[in-house]
Amino acid sequence: MNKPDKSWFCYLPQSPEAEEWGLFVLDAGYTLIPPNTPYPPGQHPDDHMSVKNGRTLDSFTLVYITRGGGTFESRSGGKHAISEGDLFIVFPGEWHRYQPTPATGWDEYWVEFDGEQARRIMRNEEFSLKSPVLRIGDDDQILRLFIEIAEATQTQLFGFEHIIATQTSQIVARTMARLRYSSAETRKMETLIRRARLHILKNAEQTIDFQEFARELGISYSAFRQHFRQITGLPPGQYQIQIRLNKAHRLLRNSPLSIAAIAEQLGFDSIYYFSRLFKKKTGLTPTGYRNSVSTP
C-alpha cells in the first residue's frame, strides 16, 4: 500500500441529497505527525483541533492511529494511552481531546460523519461512550478505506458523497467484525486456517488427507473443518476443488491441452468426474466452456 502525502483534509457541506442517504461525511483526512512536531498542525480551525481546552462536536468521528502513540481523553471515557492499531470514537456532544506523544508523533486517519443511519449503527453495543478506544490492531482494509475516502474528497468525482458514505459504513462494519471475532483464540485459529489455505493452494492437484493435516495442526478434524468453513465459506475439500476448477478455467482458455490431459494434470480421478463437476459448478461442459471463450 502506497503511503499518502504528509497530510490532507477536507470539510464538506451537508447537502440535502447526502442527508437523505442516511449517512453523510462532514470531513475526512489524515495527518502524518513526525516526532517532535507541533500538534495540531496550524492549518486546522481552532474549534476543530484544540488540544489544550478540548472540544465538543455534534457528530461522530472515527480516528485510526497507524503509527506512534499518544493520548485520548473524553468526558465519559476518561484518559487512555493510544498505541499503533487503536481506533477511537468521538461521540456527538462528548467533550474530548487527543494528541500524539512528542517523542513518537503519530499517523492519524479520520472521518467525521452523521445521519439517521449513522446514529442507528453507532448504537451497536461495540461502541460505547465509556469505552471509546477500540484495540483493533493493524488492518490494511480499514486503512485502505480511510485512504480511499480521503482520495475521493480530493477528486470529488460525481457521486463521491454516496461513495464515501458507503466506505464509512464499511469501516464501521469491519471494526465491529474485528471486535467480535478477534479474540486470542480466534486469531490463533485464523493463523492455522491461513496455513491450511496455503497448504491446499500449493498442493491443489494432490490428494490431501485432511484428517492427518488437522492432526499436524494440533486440532481435531471436526474443529478444523468447522473453522475452515466459517472463515473461507467452504469446507476444505470443496475449497481444494474450487482451486482446481479455477485453474481449469485458465487452462481451457489458454492451453492446447486436451480435456483428458487437463483433468489428469489437475488431479481428477477421471475425465468423466471432472466434466460432470465442471458442468455442475459452471453450467457448461469443459468443451462447451472452451468453445465459448474461443469464439471470436
Average pLDDT, the chain: 90
Task: Identify the pLDDT of residue 7.
Answer: 85
Does 168 lie in the same domain as 232? no
Query: Measuring CA to CA, which residue among 148, 191, 116, 200 is closest to residue 30?
Result: 148
Backbone angles phi, psi at 17, to 5 degrees: -65, -45
Which one of 126, 146, 181 terminates a domain?
181
Task: Identify the pLDDT of residue 189.
Answer: 82
Q: What is the identity of the amino acid at 213?
A: F
Q: What is the domain extent for residue 268? A: 183-296
Q: What is the rounded distance in angstroms from the CA atom of residue 232 to the CA atom of residue 224?
A: 12
What domain count does the chain have?
2
Alpha-carbon distances of 39 from 61, 71, 274, rounded to whole Å = 18, 12, 63
SS (H, E, C) 70-125: EEEEECCCEEEEECCCEEEEECCCCCEEEEECCCCCEEEEEEEEECHHHHHHCCCC
DSSP bridge partners of 97: 73
Does 174 lie in the same domain as 44? yes
| Residue pair 296/270 in contact by the 8 Å Cβ criterion | no
Does 54 lie in the same domain as 158? yes
| Residue pair 224/217 in contact by the 8 Å Cβ criterion | yes
Query: Measuring CA to CA, which residue among 104, 153, 176 is closest to residue 4?
Result: 153
Task: Identify the pLDDT of residue 199.
Answer: 94
Note the pLDDT tens digit of each residue in 197-243: 999 999 999 999 999 999 999 999 999 999 899 888 899 999 999 99
Which one of 126, 148, 181 terminates a domain?
181
Residue 157 has pLDDT above 70, yes or no: yes
Task: Identify the pLDDT of residue 295.
Answer: 56
Which one of 157, 181, 205 terminates a domain?
181
* Residue partners of 257: CB distance under 8 A and separation at least 6: 251, 265
Alpha-carbon distances of 116 from 12, 24, 121, 156, rounded to whole Å = 18, 9, 9, 23
Query: Measuring CA to CA, which residue among 98, 120, 130 is closest to residue 173?
Result: 120
Residue 182 has pLDDT above 80, yes or no: no
Task: Identify the pLDDT of residue 17.
Answer: 76
Note the pLDDT tens digit of each residue in 57-94: 999 999 999 999 999 999 999 999 999 999 999 999 99
* Mean pLDDT across 116-121: 95
Task: Identify the pLDDT of residue 196.
Answer: 94
Please, what is the Cα angle at 4 between 71 and 49, to 5 degrees? Answer: 35
Domain assignment present for residue 1? The answer is: no
Query: Measuring CA to CA, which residue among 61, 57, 40, 58 is closest to residue 49?
Result: 40
Does 131 lie in the same domain as 38? yes
Q: To the nearest whole percent, how much of the chain has pLDDT over 70? A: 92
Domain assignment present for residue 115? The answer is: yes
* Mean pLDDT across 11-36: 89
* Mean pLDDT across 249-261: 93
DSSP bridge partners of 5: none
Residue 184 has pLDDT above 80, yes or no: no
Residue 3 DSSP symbol: P
Does 224 lie in the same domain as 133? no
Please state whether the predicted TM-score (pTM) of the whole model is above 0.75. no
Does 174 lie in the same domain as 217? no
Residue 113 has pLDDT above 70, yes or no: yes
Task: Identify the pLDDT of residue 41.
Answer: 76
The three cell numbers of residue 6 are 504528509
Does 106 lie in the same domain as 15? yes
Note the pLDDT tens digit of each residue in 27-54: 999 999 999 998 987 655 544 556 778 9
Does 159 lie in the same domain as 15? yes
- Most confident option among 20-24, 52-56, 91-95: 91-95
Does 176 lie in the same domain as 49? yes
